[in-house]
Structure formats: C-alpha cells, structure tokens
C-alpha cells in the first residue's frame, strides 16, 4: 500500500522529510498518544533497513532521525521523488527516482509534430508523475502517454 509520494525540497534535505498532507496515516504504525514512533524502513537494492523516527507536531508528520541516512545513501537531492509504501508482509520500503532524469513534455493538440518527434524517446526514461494540467490535450511522461479530455 502506497503511503505517500513526495518531490523533495531543500528543507527535506537539510532538516527532516515533511510528509505530504495526503499521507495515508492509517498505513503507519499507531502513535497511541505518543508524539514519536520508530518505523523500520528498507531502501536501496540491497534492502538495507534503518530505524526512522516519525514525529507528529501540530498535526504534521515528519521523518526525523534516520531520514538523513536514507537520503545520504540514496544520493538524494532537492527535486528528486521518494515514495514510502507498506508491503504485503507489513514491512516498510522507500524508493526514489531522480528528478533530473525525469522528462515531462506537455503540449497543445495543435503541436502534433512534437508528439511524433518525442514519442520514440519515451521508453528511455523512468516513470514520473503524470501531468494534471487541463490546458494540454496530451501529456507525455516517460514510458507513459496520457490523452486527456479537455472538452469538459
């Protein structure tokens, strides 16, 4: 179960990972009245596991102690994407995608020549979040082409 996906900010890299508002809190271990919990999170190809502290202050969640070790080992930077999910066995796993390797091209329907020009390079890149911009008829993301209905 996916808990959250977030594009990292400079604050996330310098201090703590502030979790998005749409984080699926029910997928996290219960706080049971405490302000902090410890979540064992696996990451990387080797499946290294780190105990990461998750704090809740003023209703906001953040990964604190242990987060810096994950960020350092995955060579993360502001602009990269991270996702946390709970696996079927109940364990937690964090994955990351480089924001620099992400290609996102959106264009109006009058620019079909762009579509044919870039379609052949789609499969060279990793999947990035889809485009939600209603001004565009087509959004080309790596390994994904989404035709959007803009007639609404």
Residues 22-59 pLDDT 10s: 999 999 999 998 999 999 999 988 889 999 999 999 88
Rounded to 5°, the CA angle 142-88-44 comes to: 50
Q: What is the mean pLDDT of the chain?
A: 76
Q: Which superfamily does CATH assign the domain made up of 2-97 to? A: DNA-binding pseudobarrel domain (2.40.330.10)
Q: What is the pLDDT of residues 75-87, one digit of tens each?
A: 999 999 999 999 9
Please tell me the distance from the alpha carbon of residue 22 to that of residue 139, in angstroms, as a whole number: 24
- d(Cα 7, Cα 20) in Å, to the nearest integer? 10
d(CA 29, CA 55): 12
CA distances from residue 5 to 12, 18, 21 in whole angstroms, order as listed: 13, 11, 11
- Both structure tokens of 114: 């762009």
Using a cut of 0.75, tell me whether the model's pTM lies above it. no
Q: What is the location of CATH 2.40.330.10 in the chain?
A: 2-97
| Angle CA 51–57–58, to nearest 5 | 155
């Amino acid at each position: 179960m996916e808990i959250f996906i977030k594009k990292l900010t400079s604050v996330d890299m310098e201090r703590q990972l502030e979790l998005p508002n749409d984080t699926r809190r029910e997928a996290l271990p219960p706080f049971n009245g405490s302000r902090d919990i410890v979540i064992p999170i696996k990451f990387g190809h080797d499946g290294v596991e780190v105990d990461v502290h998750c704090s809740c202050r003023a209703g906001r969640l953040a990964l604190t102690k242990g987060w810096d070790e994950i960020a350092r080992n995955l060579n993360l930077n502001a602009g990269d994407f991270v996702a946390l999910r709970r696996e079927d066995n109940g364990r937690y796993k964090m994955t990351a995608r480089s924001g620099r390797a992400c290609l996102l091209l959106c264009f109006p329907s009058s620019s079909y020549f762009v579509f044919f020009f870039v379609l052949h390079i789609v499969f060279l890149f990793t999947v990035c979040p889809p485009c939600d911009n209603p001004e565009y008829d087509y959004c080309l993301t790596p390994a994904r082409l989404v035709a959007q209905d803009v007639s609404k």
